[in-house]
Amino acid sequence: MAAATVRSMPDAEDVRRIALSLPDTTEKISWSMPTFRVAGKMFATLPEEETSLAVRCPKEERDELVLAEPGKFWIADHEAQFAWVRARLAALEDEDELRDILADSWRQAAPTRLLEAYPELGAAPGD
């Protein structure tokens, strides 16, 4: 009975399903990995063995995330100069956290017309 209540960690298929549920999102293979784009602008990737995801994140916030939760977030060397952060799927609390991370990255890449058309996905609190 207890096994039915055990939640599995988010995986690559959850990333794909949630990312593609966001408006005007497409999946494209680039650099031999799945990438997700809104209106043609990349906002998430599934690098390596699809055990993590890379998302857009302002550098100041990214550095704070990595310091606060180094077991969950890190910066890949080749992405250090860009506003991207990696998240380990196994370290995410649940699918809601994954959805929040993907939606936040989507907002950063989405054109104004989509942000206005989908206010529930619009500016993050504090923006």
In a domain, 126, yes or no: no
Structural domain total, the chain: 1
Helices (H), 1-127: 12-21, 59-68, 95-109, 112-117
In a domain, 3, yes or no: no
Domain of residue 70, CATH code: 3.90.1150.30
Q: Which of 98, 93, 92, 87 is nearest to 21 (CA)?
A: 98
Per-residue pLDDT of the chain (127 residues; tens, 9 = 90+): 444 445 578 999 999 999 999 999 999 999 999 999 999 999 999 998 999 999 999 999 999 999 999 999 999 999 999 999 999 999 999 999 999 999 999 999 999 999 999 998 865 544 4
Task: Please give the residue range of the domain that contains residue 98.
Answer: 12-115
| pTM for the predicted model, two decimal places | 0.89
pLDDT at residue number 121: 87
pLDDT at residue number 9: 83
Q: Is 93 helix (H, G, I), strand (E, B) or coil?
A: coil
